[in-house]
Structure 1
Amino acid sequence: MIGLTGGIGSGKSAVASRLAQLGAVIIDADRIAREVVAPGTDGLAEIVATFGDGVLGADGALDRPALGGLVFADESARRRLEQITHPRVRSRTAALAAAAPADAIVVNDVPLLVEVGLAPTYHLVVVVSADRATRIDRLIRSRGMTAEEAERRIRAQTGDEQRRAAADVVLTNDGDLADLHLAVETLWRDRLVPYERNLRDGVPVQGGPVALAEADPHWEAQYARLAARIRHALRPTDLRIDHIGSTAIPGLAAQDLIDLQLTVDSLEQADMLAAPLAAAGFPRRAGDWWDEPRYPADGARWEKRLHGGADPARPVNLHLRVVGSPGWRYALLMRDHLRADEEQRAGYLALKRGLVAGGPDTTSYAAAKDPWFDAEHLRAERWAATTDWRP
């Protein structure tokens, strides 16, 4: 399930059209919104009962300008209208998605996706973006607007910054149609098709050779989007989710892999969450990852459950650990200690750079860090005692 959005004049419709040509199932939210209030529908009947016959045209269809005059200047009226239309749009959208083939890539074209908070309901959010001047020029040429009218329409929508914050993919559409089509085709081939296959088969993306990426300020926002999807998938249960690992430590170079920790009450609860997590794009990993030899090196095994991500462009480790367990506490302690101690953070970075220079694989890279973490864990415990740290 892909959420597609973009500001007016950005070229969102052109992206939807090309995705349809490539084989996507397109669900157009604007079209559905019109269908659920068409003549003869119970949606139109409820609108008339709520707002009066004045919202009907001579042909018996909804007079949208008349209705707009009532609701856009009255917040309570607008909310009453949304209570009529939104459940019907959601129901019809769900029915169309359910009717799609099992291996479909379903693209929900939603102009107000960000405004109404729908981003966490999709496996991926694609935002189409274009320079403001380009958008105004397109609206003048394609829709016959004046420059002032186009500017007013753009200002009435949410800003580009808010859309980008919700986006997993930003398609920049400042060039010609051929450039846009090439970007869409690349996205389809390299990300959407393998993502759908991984999701359907329950296969998490495997990590590649160990490589350090310089600290990325976008890691925290990527974590937030992943966490929001997990919360949506597990609703109404509201479990604690934390950003852990190296990407959770500002300024620290790391493998481009987002680690999250989901706090559970028991491993039995973790096992019950496996299916909804997999459906949301986080299939579980099998094998030795299900329990972990951990620090300090006392031979103990700290049990957990580990899931990965089905998205080939966003490697993820999702650790499910029991609240209060040694592994749960350790992940939070080491993160917070390294956030607070610049000197030890620098030491850890030097260790990582040295190990990566030697070209290890992921397993030997992790194991090679164990002695440093054994010593650092003791230092972290002393720091926790002196600062009254709590997990």
Structure 2
Amino acid sequence: MKSEAEIMSVTVGAPDVLNNTIHLADSDPAWPSVFAELEQEIRHALEDKVLLLEHVGSTSVPGLSAKPIIDMVLAVADSSDESGYVPQLETIGYVLKIREPDWYQHRVLKLQATQANLHVFTSGCEEIERMIAFRDRLRNHPEDLKLYETTKRKLSQQTWKYLQDYADSKSAVVRKIMERALLEQNNVLGE
């Protein structure tokens, strides 16, 4: 789990303190439509700077409960070059909240009005592949979907100071599922 100092070091502005349990909503068939609307807005704002934009996270997996926040992953030419995309995203309501230069130059922008997180990486970053592989594994393997759902439900009942603490607490299960996803992916590719 990240320490409070680590959370503070990557947060732009003050971190959001939760000090509560996690609300998980039942799967909502409207989530893909919400993503489609957000995708259009982002593509319009950034135009050809969008090299990849995908719906990821629990709201992208039918049948999975989730915090009702749409997670998206965006690939740009250079995620460390914030001036190349952040101002355009700010014009449509996104706010830069996380800057992790030591972890794939990861950035997170949040859209408060619609409850959305936009994870930004440089095109070709291996974390993009991992996020998509994890999503696809949950979509196609009911046993892993059930394992993840059970883990999330159990952990959501605990009180967490930061949302990141809850996310970090799922790491062991995520790692197991990810290993299976990447193994399957490598088998499909014949590696």
**Normalised-by-shorter TM-score class:** 0.7 to 0.9
Residue 360 of structure 1 corresponds to: 160
Normalising by structure 2, what TM-score? 0.82
Matches within 5 A, 1:1-391: 209=20, 210-235=22-47, 237-285=49-97, 289-291=98-100, 301-311=103-113, 314-361=114-161, 362-388=163-189
**8 Å Cα contact 1:306-1:320 kept in structure 2:** yes
Q: CA, structure 1 residues 338+349, in 2 after alignment: closer, same or farther (shift >3 Å)?
A: same
Question: Structure 1 runs of 4+ off > 3 angstroms?
Answer: 206-209, 236-239, 268-271
CA contact (8 A) 2:49 2:77 kept: no
Counterpart of 2:109 in structure 1: which amino acid?
H
Change (3 A) 1:207 1:282: farther
Secondary structure of 1:346's aligned partner? helix
| TM-aligned CA distance change 1:269 to 1:302, over 3 Å | closer
Deviations 1:242-283 (A, max 9, x none): 000010011100000100111112124444100010011112
Q: Which residues of structure 1 form unaligned runs of 5+?
A: 1-202, 293-299
| Residue aligning to 2:3 | none
Secondary structure at the counterpart of residue 263 of structure 1: strand
Query: Are the counterparts in 2 of residues 207 and 315 from structure 1 also a CA contact under 8 Å?
Result: no
Q: Is the 8 A contact 2:139 2:145 kept in 1?
A: yes
Match of 1:350, SS state, is helix
**Kindly tell me: are residues 235 and 325 of structure 1, through their superposed partners in 2, closer, same or farther at Cα, counting changes over 3 Å?**
closer
The one-letter amino acid paired with 1:325 is C
CA offsets, 1:296-332, max 9 Å, x none?
xxxx833211100141xx2111011112212111111
Partner of 1:162: none
Secondary structure of the 2:95 match is coil
Q: Distance in 2 between matches of 1:271 and 1:256?
A: 29
Partner of 2:10: none
Partner of 1:307, secondary structure, is: strand
Q: Secondary structure of 2:73's match?
A: strand
1:359: Cα distance to partner?
A: 3.0
Q: Aligned partners of 2:166, 2:92: CA distance in 1, in Å?
A: 30
RMSD: 2.6
Q: Secondary structure of the equivalent of 1:228?
A: helix
Contact 1:244 1:260 in 2 (8 A): yes
Uncovered stretches (5+) of structure 2, i.e. residues with no partner:
1-12
Distance 2:137 2:152 in 1: 17
1:354 and 1:268, CA in 2 relative to 1: closer, same or farther beyond 3 A?
A: closer
For residues 17 and 127 of structure 2, the distance between their equivalents in structure 1, rounded to whole angstroms, comes to 22
Match of 2:104, SS?
strand
Partner Cα separation in structure 2 for residue 301 and residue 349 of structure 1: 27
How many residue pairs were aligned?
Answer: 176
Task: Check the 8 A contact 1:239/1:264 in 2, yes or no.
Answer: yes
